[in-house]
A and B are shown apart, each in its own frame.
Chain A
Amino acid sequence: MPLEEKQQDRREFITDAVRTTGVVAVVGSGGFLAGRRTEGEPMVWQLDPDKCTACGNCATYCVLDVSAVKCFNAFDMCGFCDICTGYFEMDYKSLDTAAENQACPTGAILREFVEEKSGQRYYEYTIDEPLCIGCGKCVEGCALMNGSLYLQVEHDRCLDCNECAIATACPTEAFYRVPASQAEILKRRAATVLNARGKQMERVAGDDESKRREADALLARTAKQRDWREKQALEDANRRPSDG
């Protein structure tokens, strides 16, 4: 009996030691992991419009019934065209806005007349977000013109799946995680034109405090894009197999 008790004691001692080590290791490494990344922030999925080919997978693969991916118009890149190739079907039957002439299957693009100048009619194309299913049909069309229409993940709809179903289906690997504050990935050109617009706003703002703030916000947004792109390029360069 005493021998068995001794064995019992020893076994308990060992398991106690192992467990304590386990707790310390688990909590310690967890703390370390989280602590090492205090500068890190939650990551969200976003798609890179420069890589997107508007293949349509966004609409079909998102786990949400209506995709979390929506179309946006970079108005500063838009030509406000009369014949918007994102708005009209490629082989439309007549130049009116009847459903059969529209590229968008859900009629989510709103076309609004802005003004006529020297015989040229200008229209603005905005996206009715709730109607857009993120199919990219308009994006594909606009790629033939200015390419101002582009897809982005709406973060207030996206579930931030641990493994985004679109990311695995995207043929061009346009889907990746970005820090939550990054929010968007602008096309390179969109970032450039927005930056120019910000500078212009800043110039004309003068003493107008609110205009100044608007300009600053825009410049900050484009600066963030630029930094992000630079970081991406650096990482890409590091990841690429060295030829040495």
Chain B
Amino acid sequence: MVSARCSVGAIVSGWHRVRSGGQAFAAAPRSFSVLLIPFACLAFATMANAADVIPVPEFTDHEVPISMPAAGDHSGWEWLNVGLLVVALSLASYFALVNRSRRGLFLLAVASLAWFGFIRGGCICPIGATQNVTLAIFDGTYAIPWTVVAIFVLPLVYTLFFGRTFCSSVCPLGAIQEIVAVRPVRVPSWVDHTLGLVPYLYLGLAVLYAATGTAFIICRYDPFVSMFRLSGNVNMLVFGGALLVLGVFVGRPYCRYLCPYGAILGVLSKGSKWHAKIAPEKCITCHLCENSCPYGAISAPSSPPPKSERAAARRQLAQMIVLAPVLILLGLFVGRLLATPLSKLDPDVRLAERIILEDSGDVEDTTDASDAFRNTGQPKAELFASALSIQQRFKTLGMLIGGWFGFVIAVKLISLSLKRKRTDYQPDPSRCVSCARCYWYCPGEQVRLGIIGDVSELVELNVEKPTALETTP
């Protein structure tokens, strides 16, 4: 019915009325909006037939211009960033391992924060590049630039050789937290270990969402990028600010309890060729460094349990190994239950749910998305089918995520019940970010710097802890 009234002829004649009646029209402008109704139909008619629109006039002496958006060129910048990343990683490794300079690392952190953070807007960084790499693996049509691959891979390679020196002073997110960590308190170790599992879960989710092309959640929930750009999402600005305030007392909260890239680096760092050491030469187990790490990354010496407890320890380990498949299965199950909420990040699923809610009258208003969808007049069945198939896919993916998390917990439990023999104070390679804060506390370091002649000069001062002397060789 409506379409009958919207015949092209009516529209055109309507148009001519408007056109030729310019003067009359000015006298009664309100009627214009009434006249516009046929034009709404025209808008749809134009899509169907190019001949229905008002033609471009033939001008006697005027050339019709052509417009086009500007072409950007970002590649030069990106290569500069890769070059600077190599320089910064090399410097950081040198400062942390060879030169052992806390000041050098701190200055480098400030410089990285300025360049990779504020000047380059914190984007793209290796943390986010994880998602580009994932998408490139799963989606053949997504062209990943060389530079993004380089930005992702370089810190990994450096970590395999030198530990997490990328985290020490190259990563802008780490740097901003490093600078505010002035009054760190000790986080109870069970809290630390439990929250320390979150990055693995986050990593799993980020990979899942990137692989399906749903979203880049690491970037969407990057707490500091709005700060670096001094604009952007207000919620994220608030979240970032809160993390920084927290970071004054709890060292590097994002790095330890959220950062998915840090999770990868932590695993790789376990096999690093060289790693930051607290004592420059030999640890005299004076335990002066014990509480110096703001990130709870120092492992005290430990010895295997005495013979009497060894059987119990072995039993515990065996239990944990048996528990592992149970945890993974449990994860698979929970993951499947979580599939529906997980799929809500997909715009099609959200839209389909919204449309159903609106149709059933459960909600009064409409959203931009539902309005837009209804305006385009696409068949609902198609949308629902697509949403259903996405949800179906998320069932499998949810199980994968659940299984992955079960696996992570199992590995954690097994590693906690493995008692290794350690004779000196060492940074835990997976958690230590090579920040060099602890070096200063080691008497050996003071000797190296020529501040004291011999470690005994400092350790003797330590009257409350006579045990330190006993363990000195």
Residues of A within 8 A of B (CB): 15-16, 18-19, 22-23, 26-27, 30, 33-34, 37, 39-44, 53, 55, 57, 63-65, 70, 72-83, 85, 90-95, 114-115, 117, 119-122, 124, 126-127, 143-147, 152-163, 165, 168, 171-173, 177, 179-181, 183-184, 189, 192-194, 218, 221, 235, 240-241, 243
Q: Are A154 and B75 in contact (CB under 8 A)?
A: no
User: Which of B72, B129, B157, B220 meets A155, CB within 8 Å?
Assistant: B72
Q: Which of B54, B60, B121, B143 contacts A37 (CB 8 A)?
A: B143
Let me know if B53 and A126 touch, CB within 8 A. no
Q: In the complex, are the beta carbons of B56 and A163 less than 8 A apart?
A: no
What is the distance, in angstroms, from B43's C-beta to the closest C-beta of chain A? Answer: 5
Q: Which residue of A lies closest to B393 (CB)?
A: A241
Which single member of B53, B149, B150, B219 contacts A79 (CB below 8 Å)? B53
**Which residues of chain B from 50 to 79 have any CB-CB distance to chain A below 8 Å in the complex?**
50, 53-57, 59-62, 64-72, 74-75, 78
Contacting pair A235 B22 (CB below 8 A): no
Look across to chain B and name the residue whose beta carbon is closest to the beta carbon of A217: B66
B268 at the interface (CB under 8 A from A): yes
- Check if B232 sits within 8 Å of A171, measured CB to CB: no
Which residues in window 245-299 of B have CB below 8 A to A? 268, 271-273
Q: Tell whether, in the assembled complex, residue A73 and residue B29 are in contact, meaning their CB atoms are under 8 Å apart.
A: no
Binds A, one of B102-110, B364-372, B435-443, B451-459: B364-372
Interface 9-residue window, one of B130-138, B313-321, B334-342: B130-138
- Known contacts: A57-B368, A115-B59. The answer to whether A75 contacts B64 by CB under 8 A is yes
Q: B228 to chain A: closest CB distance in Å?
A: 10
- Against A, the Cβ 8 Å flags (1 = close, 0 = not) of B370-400 are 1111011000000001101100000000000
Residues of chain B within 8 A (CB-CB) of A70 are 69
Cα–Cα, bound, A9→B55 (Å): 84
Residue from B70, B137, B143, B229 in contact with A63 in the complex, judged by beta carbons closer than 8 Å = B229
Tell whether, in the assembled complex, residue A180 and residue B72 are in contact, meaning their CB atoms are under 8 Å apart. Answer: yes
Separation in Å of the A181 CB from the closest CB of chain B? 8
| Among A92, A115, A163, residue most surrounded by chain B Cβ atoms (within 10 Å) | A163
Instruction: Tell me whether A143 and B43 are in contact (CB under 8 A).
Output: yes
Q: Are B36 and A162 in contact (CB under 8 A)?
A: no
Which of B18, B22, B65, B133 contacts A75, CB < 8 Å? B65
7 CB-based A-B contacts, threshold 8 Å: A34-B149, A57-B368, A85-B36, A91-B30, A171-B370, A171-B371, A172-B372
CB closest chain-A residue, reference B388? A241
Give Cα A16 to B272, complex, Å.
8
User: Within B201-243, which residues are at the interface with A (CB < 8 Å)?
Assistant: 215-216, 219-220, 226, 229, 231-233
Cα A141 to Cα B220 with chains together (Å): 32
Q: How far is the CA of A79 from the CA of B376 in the complex (A)?
A: 24
B121: which A residues are within 8 A, CB to CB?
A: 159
Q: Give the residue of B40, B66, B72, B369 whose beta carbon is less than 8 angstroms from that of A76.
A: B66
| Alpha-carbon distance between A93 and B30 when the two chains are bound, in angstroms | 8
Question: What is the bound-complex CA distance between A70 and B42, given in angstroms?
Answer: 25
CB-based closest 5 A-B pairs = A40-B143, A155-B72, A79-B54, A171-B369, A163-B219
Q: Are B42 and A144 in contact (CB under 8 A)?
A: yes
Give the CA-CA distance A49 to B22 in the complex, in Å: 30
